[in-house]
Amino acid sequence: MEGQMQAWKFNLAQQPDQDPATLWQEVMARLFLPAARPLEPQTGFFGSATRLVSPLGIELTRLTSAPQQIAGRYVRQSDGIWLAQILDGHGTLATSMGDIALRTGDVAFGPVATHTVLTLPVEFSLLYVRLPRLVLHPRLLGPMPVRVGMLTNTQGIQQVFSDTLCSLGRALDHLTLPQLRAVELVLSELLISSVLSDEASSLGSSASSRRIALFHRLCQTVEAELADPDLNVQKIAKLQGISSRTLQKLFSMAGRSFSQYIRMRRLERCRGDLASPLYTHLSISEICFRWGFNDAAHFSRTFRQSYDMTPREWRNANHAAVDDKLNAHPVMPAAVSLAR
């Protein structure tokens, strides 16, 4: 049983009778990316794309193409954060602070649906990642505004993040569902840690940056303690050396109370485990107890209120739909549906 991983491939070389530049615009639209303008004669334009969509909706796309400029914004894209790493070649990213040169391994980022101009003057290979709000909120998108920018440091967690994205981009064709589920967790955590450690990525005063960093540390501590059924405000505040009142205020600024956040994170963890083929040997009760719920009936009611289905219905729906979805949406050798 593989899972709900969606895969799609395209290569302009397999559509010799189509106008390459026009067809490439349709490919970009399918990938929810802004329009691309070739920087070479259209007759010599080439391009290929490989795209995976994880069960949580994280989009992973590798583009290999002739020189082009990707500019504008795609308003149909849902809210979230995008990342772009040049695997081969170089480029320029236009930002509110001026143009930024991008070299192989650099990581550009920004909020989805924001006007962006990325110029790639030579043949290139690029990894594009979109993380939806659901994966990040409220630890990143809630308290911290993010603008278009680049992770400039080459040491510490940002270097780890860059190396991870590079490896991911080159291994995209060979990822299995269990591996992709691990990627979901790693990407969101590395993004949050990397962006928060880069002062240029956040807006506001230094006091605001410190507050954001503290909120991030609180959320990391919560993740490590989720399995504790007795987890409370006092314990997390003590672990971080702050008052309970300060902790509650920080969570309130992020749009929800501490108890609401705990419940949301526990439900999301349970929801992921219930859909995962890695935990089919665990009962629903074992999964809810694994993430700190101490009453299976209460967990079931809360799950249904949040997701409009019971835990068993969610698990059955995910597992039953696997083979049908994979058979109905296999990896496509060419963009047959795009060619008109």
More confident residue, 200 or 10: 10
pLDDT at 57: 78
Looking at 77-86, 90-99, 133-142, 151-160, which range is the least confident one? Answer: 133-142
The model's confidence at residue 2, banded by pLDDT at 50, 70 and 90, is very low
Give dist(CA 280, CA 290) in Å, integer: 14
The 107-111 sheet, strands edge to edge: 6-11, 47-53, 59-65, 124-132, 80-88, 107-111, 149-151
pLDDT at 5: 62
pLDDT in tens, 282-331: 999 999 999 999 999 999 999 999 999 999 999 998 876 544 443 443 33
The model's confidence at residue 102, banded by pLDDT at 50, 70 and 90, is very high
> What would the two tokens of residue 231 be?
């987890």
**Mean pLDDT of the region 112-139:** 82
The model's confidence at residue 255, banded by pLDDT at 50, 70 and 90, is confident
Residue 293 · residue 229 · CB < 8 Å? yes
The overall longest dimension of the chain from CA atoms, in Å, is 68
Helix (H, G, I), strand (E, B) or coil at 199: helix
C-alpha dist (Å) from residue 317 to 65, 311, 322: 39, 10, 9
Neighbouring C-beta atoms of residue 17, cutoff 10 Å:
6
The 91-95 sheet, strands edge to edge: 36-38, 68-72, 116-120, 91-95, 98-102
Give dist(CA 205, CA 13) in Å, integer: 50
**Mean pLDDT of the region 208-217:** 73
pLDDT at 135: 65
Q: Is the pLDDT assigned to residue 62 strictly greater than 70?
A: yes
Query: Which of the listed ranges 1-5, 9-13, 78-82, 252-256 does the model predict with the highest average pLDDT?
Result: 9-13
pLDDT at 21: 84
More confident residue, 5 or 216: 216
Q: Is the pLDDT assigned to residue 198 strictly greater than 60?
A: no
Looking at 44-48, 214-218, 232-236, 286-290, which range is the least confident one? Answer: 214-218
pLDDT in tens, 16-34: 888 888 899 889 888 888 8
pLDDT at 332: 36
Residue 108 · residue 85 · CB < 8 Å? yes
CA pseudo-torsion sign 196, 151, 46, 13:
negative
pLDDT at 206: 54
Give dist(CA 100, CA 149) in Å, integer: 8
Q: Roughly what angle, to the nearest 10 degrees, separates helices 258-275 and 206-225? A: 50
Q: Is the pLDDT assigned to residue 100 strictly greater than 80?
A: yes
Q: In sequence order, what are the beta bridge partners of 81?
A: 111, 131
Helix (H, G, I), strand (E, B) or coil at 157: helix
Domain architecture of the chain: domains with CATH: 6-171 (2.60.120.10), 206-325 (1.10.10.60)
Q: Is the pLDDT assigned to residue 209 strictly greater than 70?
A: no
pLDDT at 11: 93
pLDDT at 329: 39
More confident residue, 144 or 219: 219
pLDDT at 285: 96
pLDDT at 254: 77
Q: Is the pLDDT assigned to residue 338 strictly greater than 90?
A: no
User: Chain-wide mean pLDDT for the chain?
Assistant: 80
Degrees to nearest 5, angle at CA 60 with 153 and 162:
15
The model's confidence at residue 148, banded by pLDDT at 50, 70 and 90, is confident
Neighbouring C-beta atoms of residue 35, cutoff 10 Å:
15
